[in-house]
Structure formats: C-alpha cells, structure tokens
Structure 1
Amino acid sequence: MQTPSLGQARYASGLGHTVGDDVLISERIECGADPGHCFELAGPRELIFFNPKETRAGIVTCGGLCPGLNNVIRSLFCELHYGYGIAEVIGFRGGYAGLDPASGINPVTITPEFVEGIHRQGGTILGTSRGPVDVSRAVDNLIARGIHILFTVGGDGTQRGANDLYQEARRRGHLLSVVGVPKTIDNDVAFVSRTFGFFSAVEEAARVLDCAHTEARSTLGGIGLVKLMGRHAGFITAGATVASQDVNFALIPEVPFKLEAFLSALEQRMRTKSHAVIAVAEGAGQDLLEADASARDASGNVKLKDIGIFLRGHIEAHMKTAGLPVAIRYFDPSYQVRSCPANCEDSLLCDLFARNAVHAAMAGKTGVVIGFLHERFIHVPIELLASQVKRLDPAGGWWRSVLSSTGQPANFS
C-alpha cells in the first residue's frame, strides 16, 4: 500500500544520512515469494516538502496514559525546533477535545523552557481525553491557526480519528501532514513489534507481582491475585509473568478458560504448596461475565466487567466448599503501571519514534503512523493500520514462556 504524500518535496533538508522512498521493509522476515506488506523505511529525507521557516506544527496526546508520553512530546519538539528550525510548535491540550475551539481549552506554545525536564515525569503535560472530536470544526481550527503538521500520539482509536482529520483536510484541499505516533501499554498495535511504554509497564507490573508473591507466601493459605491491563491482548500479563518468575497462573484474553477447571488446578496447587500467585489480564474471561456489548466507553470500547472481583469471589466460594482456608490479597495496579515515567529502554524508543515522525511529516508524508518492524522504523498508512489487529499468539514463544515459568497447563478445559 503506497504511503500517502502531500506532493513533491522540493526543499533541501540539509540533514546527513538520509534515506530514499525506494528503501522498503517487508512485513515478514522469511518472506519467500510472499513478502506480505512492504513499507517505506522511515528516516530523514534529502528533500523535504515544507519550508521550515514558514511551518507550524501541532501536537496532541489522546486516550489513556502511558509511560513516555512526555518523552515523545519533548523529542518531537526538539527535532522540529533544533533539527529543522521550524517557526512554531503548538501543543493542543486535553486530547482531541482541545482541537475544537468550542471546548474552551486553549492550546499552548511549546518552547525549550516548556519541555525542560518533562521526560522525568509520568503522564502527559498536554493532558488527554477520550472520545472523538467534530472533525469539521477541528480542521477549521487547524486551518485558522496555520497548522501544517499535526502529530497524533495515541492508540488505534486516536489514529482512526487522525485518519478522519487527514481525509477532511485533503477533501478541502488543505495541505496538512498528519503523522501518528502509536501509543499503548498493551503492545497491541499492528506493524509495531513493541510500543513505547510497554516495557516500563511490564517492569512496574512485575514489581506488583513480586509484592503479591511476598504477601501470598507469608500467609497460611495465601493467594495473591493481580489484575493487569490488557483489554484484548495479554502482552503485559505475559511479560510481567515471565519477568517475575513467581506467578503460578496467568490468564489472558487470547486463551479462554473454563472456570471450574481453573479452580480445580488452583485447589491442587493450594493443597500441595499452600500459596499461589495469579496474574489475570482485564480482558480475560469476559465470556464468563456475559459483558453487555452495547455498553461502551467514550472511546467506543465495550465496557469490560471486572474479572478480578469475579475471580476473587469464586475462589473464596470454591475453597470454602473444598474446606481450604485461604487469605486472598487482591491487587489492581491498573493506573499505577501506566502512570509511571518511562524507563531507559522506553525513553530511547520514545525518542526514535518521535524523531522519525518529524522526518516523515517534514517530507510531506501524511495519513501515516510510525511503525516498528525487525528493529526498523517504517511508514504505515493509517488506513492499513486501522484494518489490522495484533494479539498474543497462544502457539508462539510468548505463551510458551509463560507456560514454562508458571508450570500451568496449556489450557483449562
């Protein structure tokens, strides 16, 4: 799928080590006759589309928090300001709501002083929100403010919104580069081998699991039950489980389980070891809870029912019937794992995502998200990204590592 572009680049970038649009990265490592999708390699171009001295850029952060958001804001600004010397960078506050003047949320001019030290803080200095924006009013606002480039930092819902903004601007004939930086601690973005903030969240989640293990083994009949984020994908639960090495049962959305089979396995564990640690992703076992598909949040996601509270109640009832006294310690660190600052690995990743986003925008790419495959940054058309899903493969290495570290059966059926 061809990368959308605003037109012919005509200004010399003055940057070294540039790459051309003809350098492509295949979706598959071992492709044979079928390489799958092929993507442009991201990076600085010899020629750019915008005249830096006449260019204004905007940055917006949307959706839930994620470690590294402030790092991305800082690196976007630094590359725009110091790398290209563009005229002005505007920060739209409060997520997509801040793009609509009717919200009353005024943007801020980003300066070197504004971004000083923000990378050491969790959250986002620009603020965030969930939900869509009136696309027509948002594009009116961008045009009125003379914005040529908009960086959208967020997950799949944010990038679908970014595609709507790109399409509306194109329909009007306004030359607007919209470039997305994919954000989610769930690590479930297609064509991105790891999203920024994921390993910081895993590190924080592993600390909680260590605490749960301490509580469980220090109490007769102790059970540490930890609910982690992961609506549709179990990457955080799997990663934290393997990092901890003290989890006995891990439950994820991609691997359905029968409640009675799980409870029987847990009972056997308690009879032989007298303590256990359980890690469960928030999206696991939703079929057991009969979630209402019509109940949705501001982002359009189905509202999940609480699998952690559900399991705690059923574990207590099962063990009482089995005559096993237990002391359940329930942990729900959802906001803890996403609000911490980025660790060193994610800080580096944030910087590279941001700088490649700036290079793409200055070259006139639009309607794209920066992807990351085979340790290479790529340009992924938003329309293609929105049509794909990424989930943990129960037959793959991630899940095999979980089964090996926990000793649990491959399935509870």
Structure 2
Amino acid sequence: MALVSSTPNVTSSINSGQRGLDLKGSNTTTSLFSSVNMWKSRRNNNNTKKKLSLVIRAVAENQGDIDFNDPNWIKHYQDEFEERFNLPHLRDVFDMKPIPTTFSLKHRGPQLVDGANTPEVQRKNGYVNEDDRTLLKVIKYSSPTSAGAECVDPNCSWIEQWVHRAGPRDKIYFQPGKVKAGIVTCGGLCPGLNDVIRQIVVTLELYGVKNIVGIPFGYRGFFDNALQEIPLSREVVQNINLAGGSLLGVSRGGGSTSDIVDSIQARRLDMIFILGGNGTHAGANAIHDECRKRKLKVAVVCVPKTIDNDILLMDKTFGFDTAVEEAQRAINSAYIEARSAYHGVGLVKLMGRSSGFIAMHASLSSGQIDICLIPEVPFSLDGPYGVLHHLQHLIQTKGSAVVCVAEGAGQDLLQKSGATDASGNVVLGDIGVHIQQQIKKHFKGVDVPVDVKYIDPTYMIRACRANASDAILCTVLGQNAVHGAFAGYSGITVGICNTHYVYLPIPEVITTPRFVDPNSRMWHRCLTSTGQPDFL
C-alpha cells in the first residue's frame, strides 16, 4: 500500500465507533485508523478554552501514513468492518447441527417440524435469513465540516457498514424441551425492565421452553447462597409490566467471572439473558469468553439497559423515552415556580453521568429551558461569559429563568472525592446543589434578590413504568434476545440501529460510552431552542 508523508487529520463526530484496522502485510501489521476519544473541550488552569476535536487519524505503525488515494483502502476497511461485526456463534466451538425451529405464529404442533422450511411457512412466520443485514449509517456526508459528519478519510468517502438483522430463524440450535434459561437484571433501575423480562419469558415459552428462572439482584444472585432462583412462567410475569422496577431486583457490581460461570455451570443453564449497561455488558462478555474457555454450550445474550442512552451505535435504549417524558413534569414544575416568583429561577438536575442525552432531549421537547448544561460541553459559572452572568441577564430581561443540568456536567468545577461505587463508576459531585449555591451567592453579591427552586426527579423517573414507546421497544428487544439465543449466537447484544432491530457483538458496544456530539444537528437544535451562548 502506498504511503504519504503527511497525516490527514479529519474532524469527525464522536460516535463513529471506529477502531484500529489491521491490514496484514508480508511482515508488518498496519493500524489504519485510531480514534481520539478524549474529544471534550476542557478548561486549563488559566480558564482558557482547549478545543480537542475527536479526530479519526490515519496511522501506519513505523511506516508513515496511509495513502487514502490507494483505491484498495476502502475495500480493506469494509472487509475489516465486516469481520469485526461477525457474530460469535456456538458452532464456532461446538459441532452443532441445526434443527427446524419450533417457533411459529401461524402453525403450532408437530407438523411444524416437517414443514418449517417451506417458503409459505417461512413467509407467514416472518423468519429472518441468517445473511440479512441492516445498514448502520445512512447519511452520505460530502465534507468533514458538515454538521455531525462521520468521516474516515479527508474526502468523506461513502463506506457501507452492515450489521446483522435480528429476528427468528427457521433453524435453531437448541432442543427447547431440554433448555434451562436464566434472566438477570444488573445495575440500577430503569423503566421497562419488567417489560423485557416478561417478553423474554413469553417468547421462551412459545419456543417450548419450560424451565425458566430469574437470578435475583444482578450478578450477586449467582454467588450469594442466600439468594434463590425465582421460577418464571407466563402466569408469573403476566402483569409485571404494569409496574416499574424489576421483578428480579437489581444490584451493582458482582463477583469474579470464574465464580459466576461456576454458578452457571452448577445451575445447568443453557441460555442466560443479561439486562444492563456498559459495565454489565463488559461482564457479560467476560462470562461469554469464560464459557467458551470451559467449552460450555451456553448462549450469553444481552439486552442494553441504560436510561442515559449512552450505548454505542444504537439509536436509543429502553427507558430513555420514558425518562424524557417524565422529565417534562419536573421541568414544567420548575417553570411554573420560576414564573410565579419574583426573580424566580427553576433548576432541574436530570440523569446523565457522562452523556447529556436526557437533558438535551428534555430541554428541546419542553421549550421552557433557558440554559441546558451537559457533560460533553464545558462551561464556566463565573466571568463575563459564564452561566451566572447570562442568568443575571435573563432575570433582568425576562424576570425568570429555567436551567436544566445533567448530573455529570461541570464535574471539573467540583472537588473530586476519588470514590467509586460498586460498579466502579466514579462517584459524582452534586452539580445541582453546587449551581444552586453559586446562583444564590452571585445574586447576593450583585444585590439582586432571587428565588431559586431546585428539583431532582432522578429516582422518581427511574422507578416509573415504561411509556408506550418504550414498552414496544422492550417487547421487541425481549423477543429478539430469545431469537438470537435459539439461533445459536452468544456474546451478542440486541438493539435498534438505523430504525431496524439488529444483533451486535458485545465488544463493539463497550469500547466507550456514547456521547452527545457538540457538532451534531440535535445539539444545535437545542441551542436554537434555549438561545444560550457559549459559556467559556
């Protein structure tokens, strides 16, 4: 491959999910792409702004830089992408023969086994071909300077990226009557957990599985002998979707991978469905690897659960729509309080440790927010361009203001404790309380009375039941998780990409959280709605 002397740096959006591409030469391995994920601007000690763009750079180890004019590089990239997104399958390790599916919507009974492969039956039951793919990205950018552009070369070349379509197959790799399936919910609460549990159980029974159990309180349930399996059936889960929370309970953290797999082996589980976020997915991937190492014929399938909507590559995760909808109640209350008070300020803190999707979407949908602060966009409170100065301007001109802040925003303004929770997440400082205090201090200093009302609806939102939109998403994700397990896949997660339901290898969604792109059209729309300036 031809090499050139200069490195073409291309500004790109943060969620492309590109990783190093290994091109095998005669004696060398060339890393074609590396992502710079430390893209967020930060303030230095002099309070000046450092702008660090996410850059996807061409890198050739010890050889110089890749020549993007080489016509073969796109093919190499596409081949590597396809290899990365190939789904791990149990037949990669075991000599497993497929059998006709027992899942049928139009025909039930013994006759299905003999007739499952007829075109008419396949059509009526909506079986998905193993080679079906979904296009991951649909926008063709003409320039790296386009809003939200995701480019891998200076010319923004169009590169097709395909992922596996989810759904029932006409061939399966498990005898349903012999299957024991387990379900576990990890991390914190999220609207829709019970909906997913319910649909997994219902779909398993449609396949003919009779032995279904719930593992209580996350990964802890695998190694805490005081916690017993919860037998599950359609009768048990029939109405659990009418309430929030998790029938199985949740917890953060867990034991060693070896101990968990020991428990899976002792329980004789054939399928394990794991609901959780980035950390839970990383744990599930380790469980999948350990099962392979031990030659255990276990299908490990994840359903992404994060109310923050911060899973890579996916359009959205369940619970997010409900969170945005419920956040409107808090924002509306803050707005009414602010408008009803003399020099009123409503301050709402919403969820979002590292990603500000909830705050951004809630601000945009409410139309009542004057200032939206998210983790991805740094800001100053003080100074002529700070939040407090703009807030003072709003009070003087409008008489009131409403501020929405994500919990992970402005952490550089707070004293760091260094503590971590059971999942290994850094314990965040309370930016909401800090801003509330600073608002009062600032307005006292300029001798302007202000009435601040602070609302934190976090636990009210987490514990509520899923709305209609999320309930549908949960239902389809639960169904597809079961379809994926019976299709013989393991080490995968289910999700929605480009409006279609897909299967993705777990490693591809845990490389980094998904962030709001400050150059995206959605963030620009939010700024248009709030009218806020740059706070640096």
CA distance in 2, matches of 1:390, 1:9: 38
Contact 1:97–1:103, Cα closer than 8 Å, also in 2: no
How far did residue 21 of structure 1 move? 2.1
Partner of 1:106: 228
Would you say 1:198 and 2:198 are equivalent positions? no
Using the size of structure 2 for normalisation, the TM-score is: 0.75
Equivalent residue for 2:167, pick from 27, 36, 43: 43
CA distance in 2, matches of 1:39, 1:9: 24
Identity %: 42
How far did residue 329 of structure 1 move? 0.5
Q: Report the aligned-residue RMSD.
A: 1.2
Partner of 1:90: 213
Partner of 2:296: 174
Partner of 1:147: 269
Equivalent residue for 1:29, pick from 135, 138, 153: 138
- Three-state SS of the structure 1 residue aligned to 2:302 is strand
How far did residue 400 of structure 1 move? 1.5
Using the size of structure 1 for normalisation, the TM-score is: 0.96
Which amino acid counterpart does residue 285 of structure 2 have in structure 1? N
- Three-state SS of the structure 2 residue aligned to 1:259 is coil
CA distance in 1, matches of 2:97, 2:426: 43
Partner of 2:252: 130
Would you say 1:6 and 2:94 are equivalent positions? no
Which amino acid counterpart does residue 10 of structure 1 have in structure 2? P
Equivalent residue for 1:341, pick from 465, 469, 474: 465
Would you say 1:67 and 2:67 are equivalent positions? no
How far did residue 9 of structure 1 move? 4.9
How far did residue 137 of structure 1 move? 2.0
- Three-state SS of the structure 2 residue aligned to 1:356 is helix
Partner of 1:364: 488
Would you say 1:402 and 2:526 are equivalent positions? yes
Which amino acid counterpart does residue 217 of structure 2 have in structure 1? G
Which amino acid counterpart does residue 310 of structure 1 have in structure 2? H
CA distance in 1, matches of 2:388, 2:452: 14
CA distance in 2, matches of 1:401, 1:138: 45
Aligned runs of 1:225-304 on 2, under 5 Å?
A: 225-260=347-382, 261-292=386-417, 294-304=418-428
* Deviations 1:196-251 (CA, angstroms, capped at 9, x unpaired): 11010111111110000001110101111111100011110011111211111110
Taking CA–CA contacts closer than 8 Å with sequence separation of 6 or more, which of the two structures ends up with the larger relative contact order?
1
Structure 2: 5+ residue runs without aligned partners? 1-83, 105-124, 141-156
- Three-state SS of the structure 2 residue aligned to 1:278 is strand
CA distance in 2, matches of 1:388, 1:320: 42
Partner of 1:18: 127
CA distance in 2, matches of 1:388, 1:283: 16
How far did residue 398 of structure 1 move? 1.8
Q: Which runs of 4+ in 1 moved over 3 A?
A: 30-33
CA distance in 1, matches of 2:253, 2:475: 27
How far did residue 133 of structure 1 move? 2.0
CA distance in 1, matches of 2:258, 2:426: 26
* Deviations 1:379-404 (CA, angstroms, capped at 9, x unpaired): 11111211143111111122122112
Aligned residue pairs, count: 408
CA distance in 2, matches of 1:35, 1:208: 42
How far did residue 35 of structure 1 move? 2.3
Contact 1:9–1:363, Cα closer than 8 Å, also in 2: no
CA distance in 2, matches of 1:226, 1:150: 38
CA distance in 2, matches of 1:184, 1:33: 31
How far did residue 33 of structure 1 move? 4.2
Contact 2:311–2:510, Cα closer than 8 Å, also in 1: no
How far did residue 256 of structure 1 move? 0.4
Contact 1:248–1:407, Cα closer than 8 Å, also in 2: yes
